């Protein structure tokens, strides 16, 4: 089969697809692309965060549906083998593209060609029609996914996770705007994809209004929570395990330390809270669980310096990134979890915390307005004024009746999200993408 024939074989608007399969045949093999962050990395530092969790959890559940999943990611260590069998039915393929260390996300576009070449090479040794679908995550992966789509003759499903135009519209103080090259790249991926998966109705609206996405090709699929890991646990036992005072008021931040996530808003709010109610200092604990990421890497000690400047070093506890089981223990130990981000496409921390029965105080932005039910599972706070946040913190710390009501509502809200449902809906999107794949002109 010639290169041209191979590239066009199976491009269809329905009926027969590559290898003689039809659009109603089951999805057997999936190429998932997560270029800039590996599913093997620990979430909470560097570029590893909610997207890593999403990729891993969806891949595992898809494998449970009988789909063989290959996740292509950029190798960041020479010690990594070319292929890691991460879970039953899920393989991580570590692609060599650029130096293993010291390459920032802003420099990754220069490695797209090398990465794409290696992805295509990995498929070329397989029989024609080896993969049924390509699912790319984040715009860099989407660029590679678009090439693979046309070369392999299979549909491209893309998940943005974050969008430059949305981020630039609500920049955090001290954060740098996303460059024009990213915006152009995102627009190209939106145009190339056969289906776009949005985390929430709001994200779908943003794709349509800001990126001119075809509404008929946008599907809303909520991310989930591993309810076997993130579930209610005894608060006293969790606090004992974490060396937290039994009667403490624990206000937790969990996530990457960068301006976008706004941990500084929580610290400033805590300082304001203690100015108003100094008697709370003796029992207040503010754990910050996570590591520097993104533009936060430029000043990795800035949050500790801010705590010192605000005079709250005695109540703030910095904790390195932890695994999911340990994170669940932190959620269970907390009085409330604060998510003051300037934008979140979904807000996985909020969903996980609620699954542990912990109220969430969240900024009323992005997907957080879907995840958190204001007044029922937590509180949504307009803006990032520390005084408003201090008022919300004081309410949840000092009002046990409110706290108990929100905790019960948090558990009820968490039942709306599961990775099993996410995977099943995603699989249906794959089927729709295959049955409605657009013809590419030769």
Is 414 known to sit in a ligand binding site?
no
Question: Are the C-beta atoms of residues 164 and 61 closer than 8 Å to each other?
Answer: no
Q: What is the pLDDT of residues 88-135, one digit of tens each?
A: 999 999 999 888 777 777 888 888 999 999 999 999 999 889 999 999
State residue 159's pLDDT score.
Answer: 98
Question: Are the C-beta atoms of residues 198 and 221 closer than 8 Å to each other?
Answer: yes
From the centroid of its chain, how far is CA 77? 23
Is 352 known to sit in a ligand binding site?
yes
Q: Could you say which DSSP state residue 161 is in?
A: S
State residue 440's pLDDT score.
Answer: 61
State residue 223's pLDDT score.
Answer: 96
State residue 334's pLDDT score.
Answer: 98
Q: What is the pLDDT of residues 396-433, one digit of tens each?
A: 999 999 999 999 999 999 999 999 999 999 999 999 99
State residue 172's pLDDT score.
Answer: 82
Is 162 known to sit in a ligand binding site?
yes
Helix axes 386-398, 263-276, angle to 10 degrees: 70
Q: What is the pLDDT of residues 334-364, one digit of tens each?
A: 999 999 999 999 999 999 999 999 999 999 9
Distance CA 44, CA 292 (A): 8
Question: Are the C-beta atoms of residues 259 and 173 closer than 8 Å to each other?
Answer: yes
Is 175 known to sit in a ligand binding site?
no
Question: Are the C-beta atoms of residues 126 and 148 closer than 8 Å to each other?
Answer: no
The CB density around residue 103, as the number of other CB atoms within 10 Å, is 16
Is 235 known to sit in a ligand binding site?
no
Is 405 known to sit in a ligand binding site?
no
State residue 45's pLDDT score.
Answer: 60
Is 322 known to sit in a ligand binding site?
yes
Specify the range with the lowest mean pLDDT, choosing from 58-62, 277-281, 437-441.
437-441
pLDDT for 21 beyond 70: no
Distance CA 414, CA 378 (A): 12
Is 48 known to sit in a ligand binding site?
yes
Q: What is the pLDDT of residues 164-215, one digit of tens each?
A: 999 999 888 778 899 999 999 999 999 999 999 999 999 999 999 999 999 9
Is 173 known to sit in a ligand binding site?
no
Is 209 known to sit in a ligand binding site?
no
Domains and CATH numbers, the chain: 29-223+420-436 (3.40.50.2000), 235-417 (3.40.50.2000)
Is 426 known to sit in a ligand binding site?
no
Specify the range with the lowest mean pLDDT, choosing from 31-45, 113-127, 146-160, 241-255.
31-45
Is 36 known to sit in a ligand binding site?
yes
State residue 106's pLDDT score.
Answer: 81
Cβ-defined contacts of 238-245 (< 8 Å, 24+): 238/329, 238/330, 238/332, 238/333, 239/333, 241/329, 241/333, 242/329, 242/330, 242/333, 244/285, 244/287, 244/333, 245/283, 245/285
* Beta strands at 133-137 and 29-33: parallel, antiparallel or unpaired: parallel
pLDDT for 381 beyond 50: yes
Closest CA to 156 of 171, 145, 169, 140: 145
Does the CA dihedral 7-9-14-20 come out positive or negative?
Answer: negative
Is 52 known to sit in a ligand binding site?
yes
Is 331 known to sit in a ligand binding site?
yes
Is 382 known to sit in a ligand binding site?
no
Is 138 known to sit in a ligand binding site?
yes
Task: Give the pTM.
Answer: 0.89
Mean pLDDT, the chain, whole residue set: 90
Is 50 known to sit in a ligand binding site?
yes
Is 64 known to sit in a ligand binding site?
no
pLDDT for 285 beyond 70: yes
Is 105 known to sit in a ligand binding site?
yes
Averaged pLDDT, 299-320: 92
How much of the chain, in percent, has pLDDT values that exceed 70? 90
Instruction: Report residue 15's pLDDT band, with 50, 70 and 90 as the boundaries.
Output: very low
């Amino acid at each position: 089969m010639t290169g041209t024939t191979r590239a066009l074989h199976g491009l269809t608007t329905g009926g027969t697809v590559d290898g003689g399969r039809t659009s109603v045949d089951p999805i057997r093999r999936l190429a998932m692309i997560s270029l800039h962050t590996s599913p093997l990395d620990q979430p909470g530092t560097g570029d590893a965060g909610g997207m890593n969790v999403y990729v891993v959890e969806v891949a595992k559940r898809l494998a449970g549906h009988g789909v063989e999943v290959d996740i292509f990611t950029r190798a960041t260590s020479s010690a990594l083998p070319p292929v890691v069998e991460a879970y039953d039915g899920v393989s991580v393929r570590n692609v060599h593209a650029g130096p293993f260390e010291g390459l920032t996300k802003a420099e990754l576009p220069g490695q797209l060609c090398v990465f794409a070449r290696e992805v295509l090479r990995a498929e070329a040794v397989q029989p024609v029609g080896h993969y049924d679908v390509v699912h790319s995550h984040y715009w860099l992966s989407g660029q590679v996914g678009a090439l693979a789509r046309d070369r392999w003759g299979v549909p491209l499903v893309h998940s943005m996770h974050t969008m430059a135009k949305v981020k630039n519209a609500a920049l955090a103080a001290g954060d740098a705007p996303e460059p024009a090259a990213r915006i152009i790249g995102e627009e190209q991926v939106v145009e190339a994809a056969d289906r776009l998966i949005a985390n929430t109705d709001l994200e779908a609206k943003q794709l349509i209004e800001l990126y001119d996405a075809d509404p008929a090709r946008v599907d809303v699929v909520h991310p989930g929570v591993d309810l076997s890991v993130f579930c209610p646990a005894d608060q006293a036992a969790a606090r004992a395990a974490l060396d937290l005072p039994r009667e403490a008021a624990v206000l937790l931040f969990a996530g990457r330390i960068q301006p976008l996530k706004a941990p500084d808003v929580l610290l400033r709010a805590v300082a304001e809270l203690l100015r108003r109610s100094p008697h709370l200092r003796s029992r207040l604990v503010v754990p910050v669980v996570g590591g520097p990421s993104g533009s936060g890497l430029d000043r990795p000690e800035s949050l500790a310096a801010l705590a010192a400047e605000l005079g709250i070093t005695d109540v703030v506890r910095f904790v390195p990134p932890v695994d999911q089981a340990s994170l669940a223990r932190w959620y269970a130990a907390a009085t409330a979890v604060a998510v003051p981000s300037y934008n979140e496409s979904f807000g996985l921390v909020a969903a996980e915390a609620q699954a542990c029965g912990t109220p969430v105080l969240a900024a009323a932005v992005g997907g957080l307005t879907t995840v958190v039910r204001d007044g029922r599972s937590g509180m949504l706070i307009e803006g990032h004024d520390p005084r408003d946040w201090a008022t919300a913190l004081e309410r949840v710390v000092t009002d046990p009746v409110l706290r108990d009501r929100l905790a019960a509502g948090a558990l009820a809200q968490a039942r709306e999200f599961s990775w099993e449902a996410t995977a099943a809906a995603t699989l249906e999107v794959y089927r729709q993408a295959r049955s409605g794949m657009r013809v590419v002109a030769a």
